[in-house]
Amino acid sequence: MNYLSKSNAAARSIWFLKSLCTEGTPATATRCYSTKLAPASASALKASSASGNAPTERKSIIPPNYRYVYQEFLPDPKVEWRNSVREKLERKDMLDRRANIDIPEFYVGSVVAVTSSDPHAENKTARFVGICILREKCGLRARFILRNVIDHQGIEISYDLYDPTLQKIEVLRLEKRLDDNLLYLRDALDEYSTFDVNMEPEILPEGSPVPVNDVKVVLKPRPWYARWERHNLQGVANIEEHTNERRRRKAEAVATPWEKYDLMKEYRRSIPEEEQKEIFTEIYSQLHSLELARKKMKRKRTFVKPTKLA
């Protein structure tokens, strides 16, 4: 009996499968059944789009230039130096410091004036004007270097961006240069690093892009501060004049032009875009309010009260 019942069940299952595959179709055709969903028709797609159920991608409110204007808010990309708690506390301290002092937007190549506390000065404050030749580090350790030539003597001062002794930071000329740092100005002619200490600020129209100064400096003869022929500089005009064949061969031997194609090395040197969005989303509201206050004060400074009334 068990054998008969099993054979009857197998026969019924075979008959059921045959009926599914051959019902309503010619004998020469075969019908295939799939578990995948059938593609939606054009009318169904129009109906779904009209109903508003289709998801729409939200546009980010974070301006794309934040990663350049507030680059010190991005942590160090080295994994061994990362600490999420310390980074969050540092960002809070940086925002508190920005609420007490206006830190404007400036880049390497901008002419900046810094007023700081100096107990040995006559008025207990010192003001220095110079071109920014370097910006480095991140967080509360972010710093920049200003250079100026005064009385035929090159002077450089390094400032911590969030140093509490800084009283005022003014941007006299906002611009960029062709290179990421301008340390080669130490070996250039003095005219490229000389700026008037009483220089008046040059105000750009609101919303205009930051201009790029494509001037090419002229270096003095050797000895130099560094082997500039190995740095692939765009803002120097006469490196080849002071480079002989032996130095040129050594520069070619130590060059690594393939690094720009190394995606993993580039990934380790930078912060992922998703993490950048998280960081700037966290601090956007306070930075935006500080920007609005800065623009309001800028309009007040540029307003000239008329001498005669109509």
Domains within the chain, CATH numbers bracketed: 65-292 (2.30.30.790)
Q: What is the pLDDT of residue 296?
A: 82
Question: CA gyration radius for the chain?
Answer: 33
pLDDT band with cut points at 50, 70 and 90 for residue 60: confident
**Between these two residues, 24 and 293, which has the higher pLDDT value?**
293
The answer, yes or no, to whether the previous bond of 272 is cis (omega within 30 of 0) is: no
Q: What is the pLDDT of residue 201?
A: 94
Rounded Cα gap, residues 232 and 239, in angstroms: 10
The Cα angle at residue 57 between residues 56 and 63, in degrees rounded to 5:
145
**Mind listing the pLDDT tens digit for each residue in 190-207?**
999 999 999 999 989 888
For residue 281, pLDDT over 80 is answered with: yes
What percentage of the chain reaches a pLDDT higher than 90?
68
For residue 239, pLDDT over 80 is answered with: yes
Task: Give the relative orientation of helices 84-100 and 273-302 as an angle to the nearest 10 degrees.
Answer: 10
**Mind listing the pLDDT tens digit for each residue in 4-49?**
455 566 666 666 555 555 544 444 444 444 444 455 555 544 544 4
**Between these two residues, 273 and 58, which has the higher pLDDT value?**
273
For residue 184, pLDDT over 70 is answered with: yes
Residue 124 three-state SS: coil
For residue 305, pLDDT over 60 is answered with: no
Q: What is the pLDDT of residue 10?
A: 60
Rounded Cα gap, residues 159 and 132, in angstroms: 11
**Mind listing the pLDDT tens digit for each residue in 84-129?**
999 999 999 999 999 999 999 999 999 999 999 999 998 999 999 9
Any alpha helices (H) in the chain, and if so which ranges? 2-22, 42-51, 66-69, 84-100, 245-254, 263-269, 273-302
Rounded Cα gap, residues 142 and 134, in angstroms: 11
Q: What is the pLDDT of residue 61?
A: 81
Token match 């690594």: residue? 256
DSSP 117: E
DSSP 260: G
The residue among 262, 305, 279 whose CA lies nearest residue 92 is: 279
For residue 54, pLDDT over 70 is answered with: no
Span 254-259, mean pLDDT?
92
